[in-house]
Amino acid sequence: MIKKILCFCGSGLGTSFVMEMNVKKALKNLGIEGVTVDHSTIDDVLPGAADLFVCSADLLPNAQKAGKAIGLNNMVAVKEIQEKLKAVFEEE
Amino acid sequence: MQRLCVEIRIRNRNGPVAGTVSLEEQSEWTESGFMNALGRRNFGMSLLKKENVQICDTADNWRDAIRISVQPLEQGGYVESCYKDGIIENIEKLGPYIIIADHIALPHARPEQGAVKTQIGITLFRQDIKFDGKEATARLFVTLAAKDNDSHLDALVQISELLSDEERVEKILESPDVQTLYHYFERI
């Protein structure tokens, strides 16, 4: 079960926050509730830190070492995030 | 000493009251303190200053583009001269995670890497800037200086909203002059 999503980028205050906002929007659109979403730096990406990590496509290999992860090319549009989240939640 | 308590109402153009700010809340009434109080509450007052908006033809490479995009913030004293190096180092270490969508980069580094005051700068390049190891290129650089972890979040919410519409992004990229470019962002 995915209960905690952690969005991260290199600095933990720009890109990761934009992703957090849009992950929240996407979850709402998908009607998924009871998931906490947070943003942080790559230093906090450790196994067990979250059930799902979300990052830019470049950082995906780093995230996959820590667990299940989604890499994004477009972080400002909800569309890509929503499609990728839907696929992950359907797998569950 | 009697305390003066004044409430200022901020109206959007021809619109309803967008919010209020109480003068009592500010201990020191400097212009910047007042503007910060307004900005924090997201009353549609602009964080972005027109002098921090620029249009450039091109840059020698992505590092040069980052330096150009940070320049107005450095000149205005919003960041220290080491800030641009911090951004470049982060990208060298982790890849171009600042490209938040095709055509759009959000250069930023940590507050401790040399951000003095929270501010944004907008740089539009006429030619695509290529980053190592990434297919996507960037032309619109929204450069962010954040002095702490949260003072810039209101602005980011608005920037993200603005740039989530691909058709609007296309129009922004075709801005013929600085005034037009500024106009798209002036509510941020």
| B183 carries an active-site annotation | no
Rounded CA Rg of chain B: 18
- Residues from chain A contacting residue B159 (CB–CB below 8 Å): 18
> Three-state secondary structure along chain A?
CCCEEEEEECCCCCHHHHHHHHHHHHHHHHCCCCCEEEEEEHHHCCCCCCCEEEEEHHHHHHHHHHCCEEEECCCCCHHHHHHHHHHHHHHC
Chain B contact set for A55 (CB, 8 A): 97
- What's the pLDDT score for residue B186? 86
| Smallest Cα distance from A53 to chain B, Å | 15
User: For chain B, what are the domain ranges?
Assistant: 7-40, 50-185
Express each pLDDT in A37-89 by its tens digit: 999 999 999 999 999 999 999 899 999 999 999 999 999 989 999 999 999 99
What is residue B5's predicted lDDT score, i.e. its pLDDT?
Answer: 52
C-alpha A7/C-alpha A51 separation (Å) is 11
As assigned by CATH, the class of the B50-185 domain is alpha beta
B65: three-class secondary structure by DSSP: helix
Mean pLDDT for back-to-back runs of 10 residues, chain B (188 residues): 52 48 46 50 65 97 98 97 96 90 94 94 97 88 92 87 93 97 88
> Rounded to whole angstroms, how far apart are CA atoms B104 and B139?
6
Indicate yes or no: CB of B97 within 8 angstroms of CB of A13.
no
Chain B residues whose CB is inside 8 A of the A78 CB are: 164
CA distance B48 to B57: 22
CATH assignment at residue A76: 3.40.50.2300
Question: Containing domain of residue A45, as a range?
Answer: 4-91
A41, A11 contact by CB (below 8 A): yes
Asked if A21 has any chain B CB less than 8 Å from its own CB, the reply is yes
Report CB contact under 8 Å: B99, A56.
Answer: yes
List CB contacts (< 8 A) between A10 and chain B.
90-91, 93-94, 97-98
Q: How many domains does chain A have?
A: 1
Which of B98, B100, B110 lies at the smallest CB-CB distance from A76?
A: B100
B164-167 long-range contacts, Cβ below 8 Å, gap at least 24?
B164/A22, B164/A76, B164/A77, B164/A78, B166/A77
CB contact under 8 A, A10 and B90: yes
Q: From the CA of B85, how many Å to the nearest CA of chain A?
A: 14
Identify the closest residue of chain A to B148 by CA–CA distance: A13
CB atoms within 10 A of CB B181: 22
Record: contact B96-A58, CB cut-off 8 A: yes
Closest by CA position to B118, among listed B81, B69, B90, B155: B155
Q: Which amino acid is at B3?
A: R
Cβ distance A76 to B133 less than 8 Å, yes or no, reads no
Query: For A77, which of B108, B149, B164 is closest by C-beta distance?
Result: B164
Strand, helix or coil at B148?
Answer: coil
Rounded CA separation A24/B55 (Å): 34
Q: Any idea what the Cα angle at residue B175 is, between residues B134 and A74, rounded to 5°?
A: 30
A82 Cβ under 8 Å from any chain B Cβ: no
